[in-house]
């Protein structure tokens, strides 16, 4: 027995309690402890029933993910669960908190399940590139309908107690007692009713409707494009309906081991831990954030309205300032439409919607209304002059201690801060469109921003349920700076011979949510045009400058919002446009370029080489603190496939020497664009990886 699991006898019930903070993960010590304690309970003649429960905030939330990829230590979880299931005395799992992954598999190995009212259940393995590997795919469809098991296992979705009880996953709901007391009382009731051990594995599997598995395979091939685990989940559940349990379990284990050894599993677990690591910064350790309840937003266009909605949905109070009352009314209407969308999707009740508009939101044109705001987020036009003017006004009006934030995409936050007498309170908070949906928030720390203000930026992100990444100041911060660079590389590919449609297709097949030219159409081609004009005076003459985007803008083709950009949009559906190809062909002719065939692999290689090379510079300059900050940025704001873990993880997976060789090869065509970043060269020379820099 270990400290992680203890056993005690209460009358005729053995109580096995797991204590492995913070989430009672199934470490080797917990596995060994559980197996030992179940054996002890079975050997003890006074014991007639067994209860498994947990101390702390949750029942077991899964296998210990930290052990993945390391040498296996006995006993294995499947063996432990078989010991539980084989107990001659009835075993009750008394559940609370989040019963996830291996935790739910332990509960399924028990014979009866009782849960606290707000317990949640799920098998999230698929989100980690795995399938439930300790019997979940075989036991769950023996307890709940196969369709429901298939849905839970392939989506990783968590269900609440009512759904679990209706489906038969829990036998009883504890209404008053704590898990330990409730478990003991329930075990005694079962004994008094003469209930015996009821091994789940001995139950017949529920039957599946015709075509269920083939439909699921086809749907998942689209929805979870490129991923292996979802298909394996389907195979394993289909096995449960066809094979004896021992064979089904053996196959499940084989699939699990295969996936465990794969790159997708390491990438997804890298993403899981990186998202938890990203907010752990020495500069804000032990620094208390300021209180934030009242939010000001300046500018109620695309971004301002989205930021207001995001804050309102998080329970905050918002005052939005526009240029005049007519614009303020337009912003109110946008906010209200977005909130209506939340009501339709069941995310917001009608009563809460009414309350927000009546009591927590106001849009005016009077800056004085921001006097009591705790934090003001500016989202006016992307012009340094306009922003400086706004910050001057905010400085004069806002209370001492209020944080003044800019949502600028590219501009210099230091220059903005200098317009105030409180540069220590100025920060960049870069949201992504649509701001009430996208998870990423770049927290842009200027030279004089105080640690308390940085900590408040992170705390604000948490309230909004966003993932915050720290960035230093540079043109475009982490994300848009990388985007400018890989987009430049893709412009080069187009001039060399590919079409924008070839580029988008190759990158979507690689796993990106959208290709760069579809992204440009969505953001609005005028945005990039304005940036190019702003940077024109400082552009290096050696830089390759593709003009086709400017030609489109000159024809008022600004993308989706004007119905034409790189694509033509009819009823929102994009299609290729021969006129775009003509514009590009004309530019090639003007420059004496003969179009070459460029393979999809070459497109991906150039895209990734450009992204990784610029990321190495961003790291070396300290704009991003660690490679994991770059990965989290691209995963949450730029549609990078999570199962590839982010560009830095991808680079480590394919090998930094391969990336460096690609860059050197491309530098023979354009040695300005393709200069290897010194950090990349150094890592290759030292045989190191980006992961080595994550600390």
Residues that bind ligand NAI (CB under 6 A): 298-304, 321-323, 327, 379-382, 386, 390, 407-409, 431-433, 523
Site for ligand 3HC in 93-112 (CB under 6 A): 98, 100-102, 105
For position 61 contacting ligand 3HC by CB under 6 A, the verdict is yes
Is residue 120 classed as helix, strand or coil in its secondary structure? strand
The stretch among 18-26, 163-171, 341-349, 509-517 that binds ligand 3HC (CB under 6 A) is 18-26
Of 351, 356, 365, the C-alpha closest to 335 is 356
Catalytic residue among 17, 105, 378, 442: 105
Of 280, 333, 272, the C-alpha closest to 129 is 272
298, interface contact from ligand 3HC, ligand NAI, none, CB < 5-8 Å by kind: ligand NAI
User: Would you state the structure tokens that stand for residue 31, as one six-digit string?
Assistant: 């596995």
25, interface contact from ligand NAI, ligand 3HC, none, CB < 5-8 Å by kind: ligand 3HC
For position 62 contacting ligand 3HC by CB under 6 A, the verdict is yes
Let me know if 125 is a catalytic residue.
Answer: yes
For position 118 contacting ligand 3HC by CB under 6 A, the verdict is no
Is residue 427 classed as helix, strand or coil in its secondary structure? strand
303, interface contact from ligand 3HC, ligand NAI, none, CB < 5-8 Å by kind: ligand NAI
CB of 302 to ligand NAI, least distance (A): 4
CB of 474 to ligand NAI, least distance (A): 15
CB of 132 to ligand 3HC, least distance (A): 4
CB of 382 to ligand NAI, least distance (A): 4
Q: At 274, which helix (H) or strand (E)? A: helix 263-277
From CA 649, how far away is CA 653, in angstroms rounded? 6
From CA 629, how far away is CA 623, in angstroms rounded? 10
Question: What is the DSSP annotation of 45-58?
Answer: TT--EEEEEE-TT-
Q: Which is nearer to ligand NAI, 230 or 428 (CB)?
A: 428
For position 63 contacting ligand 3HC by CB under 6 A, the verdict is yes
Is residue 320 classed as helix, strand or coil in its secondary structure? strand
User: Would you state the structure tokens that stand for residue 454, as one six-digit string?
Assistant: 């940085």
From CA 23, how far away is CA 102, in angstroms rounded? 12
Q: At 578, which helix (H) or strand (E)? A: helix 578-590
From CA 628, how far away is CA 278, in angstroms rounded? 7
Q: Which is nearer to ligand 3HC, 261 or 599 (CB)?
A: 261
User: Would you state the structure tokens that stand for residue 281, as one six-digit string?
Assistant: 């910064």
Let me know if 252 is a catalytic residue.
Answer: no
23, interface contact from ligand 3HC, ligand NAI, none, CB < 5-8 Å by kind: ligand 3HC
Q: Residue 257: how many CB atoms within 10 A of its CB?
A: 12
CB of 410 to ligand NAI, least distance (A): 7
109, interface contact from ligand 3HC, ligand NAI, none, CB < 5-8 Å by kind: none
Q: Which is nearer to ligand 3HC, 276 or 682 (CB)?
A: 276
For position 133 contacting ligand 3HC by CB under 6 A, the verdict is yes
Tokens 């913070």 belong to 22
From CA 650, how far away is CA 647, in angstroms rounded? 5
CB of 63 to ligand 3HC, least distance (A): 3
Residues contacting residue 112 through CB under 8 Å, at least 6 positions apart: 90, 91, 92, 93, 171, 172, 186, 190, 195, 198
Q: Residue 168: how many CB atoms within 10 A of its CB?
A: 14
188, interface contact from ligand NAI, ligand 3HC, none, CB < 5-8 Å by kind: none
From CA 130, how far away is CA 153, in angstroms rounded? 10
407, interface contact from ligand NAI, ligand 3HC, none, CB < 5-8 Å by kind: ligand NAI
CB of 120 to ligand NAI, least distance (A): 33
Q: Which is nearer to ligand 3HC, 132 or 528 (CB)?
A: 132
Of 478, 483, 510, 477, the C-alpha closest to 603 is 510
Applying CB under 6 A, the site for ligand 3HC has a residue count of: 24
From CA 209, how far away is CA 56, in angstroms rounded? 41
For position 205 contacting ligand 3HC by CB under 6 A, the verdict is no
From CA 668, how far away is CA 112, in angstroms rounded? 68
For position 229 contacting ligand 3HC by CB under 6 A, the verdict is no
For position 230 contacting ligand 3HC by CB under 6 A, the verdict is no
For position 25 contacting ligand 3HC by CB under 6 A, the verdict is yes
For position 149 contacting ligand 3HC by CB under 6 A, the verdict is no
From CA 315, how far away is CA 308, in angstroms rounded? 11
Distances (CA, A) of 588 to 518, 581, 583: 22, 11, 9
276, interface contact from ligand NAI, ligand 3HC, none, CB < 5-8 Å by kind: ligand 3HC
Site for ligand 3HC in 275-294 (CB under 6 A): 276
Of 182, 163, 201, 19, the C-alpha closest to 92 is 182
For position 23 contacting ligand 3HC by CB under 6 A, the verdict is yes
Q: Which is nearer to ligand NAI, 189 or 433 (CB)?
A: 433
Catalytic residue among 125, 238, 252, 322: 125
User: Would you state the structure tokens that stand for residue 580, as one six-digit string?
Assistant: 């775009």
541, interface contact from ligand NAI, ligand 3HC, none, CB < 5-8 Å by kind: none
Whether 206 contacts 142, CB under 8 Å: yes
125, interface contact from ligand 3HC, ligand NAI, none, CB < 5-8 Å by kind: ligand 3HC
H-helix segments, 591-655? 600-620, 627-637, 647-654
Site for ligand 3HC in 544-573 (CB under 6 A): none
End-to-end C-alpha distance for the chain, whole angstroms:
34
Distances (CA, A) of 346 to 217, 253, 317, 340, 343: 28, 38, 21, 10, 5
Q: Which is nearer to ligand 3HC, 62 or 141 (CB)?
A: 62
Q: Which residues are catalytic?
A: 105, 125
Interface residues with ligand 3HC (CB under 6 A)? 22-23, 25, 61-66, 77, 98, 100-102, 105, 124-125, 128, 130, 132-134, 136, 276
């Amino acid at each position: 027995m270990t400290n992680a699991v203890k056993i005690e006898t209460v009358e005729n019930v053995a109580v096995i309690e797991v204590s492995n903070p913070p989430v009672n993960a199934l470490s080797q010590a917990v596995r060994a402890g559980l197996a030992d304690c179940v054996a002890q309970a079975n050997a003890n003649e006074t014991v007639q029933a067994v209860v498994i429960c947990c101390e702390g905030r949750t029942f077991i939330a899964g296998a210990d993910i930290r052990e993945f990829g390391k040498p296996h230590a006995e006993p294995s979880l499947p063996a432990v669960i078989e010991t539980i299931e084989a107990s001659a005395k009835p075993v009750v799992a008394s559940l609370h908190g989040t019963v996830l992954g291996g935790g739910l598999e332990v509960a399924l190995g028990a014979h009866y399940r009782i849960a606290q009212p707000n317990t949640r259940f799920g098998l999230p393995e698929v989100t980690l590139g795995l399938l439930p590997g300790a019997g979940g795919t075989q036991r769950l469809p023996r307890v709940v309908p196969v369709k429901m098991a298939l849905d839970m296992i392939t989506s990783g979705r968590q269900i609440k107690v009512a759904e679990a009880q209706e489906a038969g996953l829990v036998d009883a709901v504890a209404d008053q007692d704590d898990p330990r007391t409730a478990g003991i009382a329930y075990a005694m009731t079962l004994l008094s009713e003469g209930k015996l051990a009821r091994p789940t594995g001995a139950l017949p599997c529920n039957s599946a409707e015709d075509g269920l598995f083939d439909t699921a395979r086809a749907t998942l091939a689209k929805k979870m494009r490129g991923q292996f685990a979802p298909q394996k989940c389907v195979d394993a559940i289909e096995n449960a309906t066809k094979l004896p349990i021992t064979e089904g379990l053996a196959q499940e284990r084989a699939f699990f081991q295969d996936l465990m050894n794969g790159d997708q599993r390491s990438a997804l677990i890298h993403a899981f831990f990186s998202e938890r690591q990203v907010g752990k910064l020495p500069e804000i350790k032990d620094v208390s954030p300021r209180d934030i309840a009242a939010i000001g937003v300046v500018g109620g266009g695309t971004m301002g309205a989205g930021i207001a909605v995001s804050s309102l949905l998080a329970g905050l109070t918002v005052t939005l300032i526009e240029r005049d009352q007519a614009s303020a009314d337009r912003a109110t209407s946008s906010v209200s439409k977005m909130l209506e969308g939340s009501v339709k999707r069941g995310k917001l009740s009608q009563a809460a919607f009414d309350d927000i508009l009546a009591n927590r939101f106001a849009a005016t044109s009077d800056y004085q209304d921001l006097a009591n705001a705790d934090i003001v987020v500016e989202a006016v036009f992307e012009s340094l002059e306009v922003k400086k003017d706004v910050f001057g006004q905010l400085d004069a009006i806002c209370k001492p201690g209020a944080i003044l934030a800019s949502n600028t995409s590219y501009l210099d936050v230091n220059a903005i801060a200098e317009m105030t007498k409180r540069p220590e309170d100025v920060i960049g908070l870069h949201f992504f469109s649509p701001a009430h949906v996208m998870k990423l928030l770049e927290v842009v720390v200027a030279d004089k921003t105080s640690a308390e203000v940085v900590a408040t930026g992170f705390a604000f992100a948490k309230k909004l349920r966003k993932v915050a990444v720290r960035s230093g100041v540079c043109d475009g911060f982490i994300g848009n700076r990388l985007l400018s660079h890989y987009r430049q590389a893709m412009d080069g590919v187009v001039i060399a011979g590919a079409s924008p449609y070839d580029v988008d297709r190759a990158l979507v097949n690689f796993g990106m949510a959208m290709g760069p030219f579809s992204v440009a159409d969505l953001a609005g081609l005028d945005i990039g045009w304005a940036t190019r004009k702003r940077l024109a005076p400082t552009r290096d003459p050696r830089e390759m400058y593709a003009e086709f985007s400017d030609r489109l803008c000159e024809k008022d083709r600004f993308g989706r919002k004007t119905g034409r950009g790189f694509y033509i949009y009819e009823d929102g559906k994009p299609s290729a446009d021969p006129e775009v190809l003509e514009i590009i062909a004309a530019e090639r002719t003007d420059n004496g370029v003969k179009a070459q065939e460029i393979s999809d692999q070459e497109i991906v290689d150039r895209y990734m080489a450009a992204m990784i090379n610029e990321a190495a510079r961003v790291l070396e300059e300290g704009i991003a603190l660690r490679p994991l900050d770059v990965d989290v940025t691209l995963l949450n704001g730029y549609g990078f496939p999570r199962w590839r873990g982010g560009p830095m993880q991808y680079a480590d997976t394919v090998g930094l020497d391969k990336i460096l060789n690609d860059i050197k090869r491309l530098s023979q065509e354009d040695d300005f664009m393709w200069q290897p970043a010194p950090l990349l060269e150094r890592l290759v020379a030292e045989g190191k990886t980006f992961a080595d820099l994550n600390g």
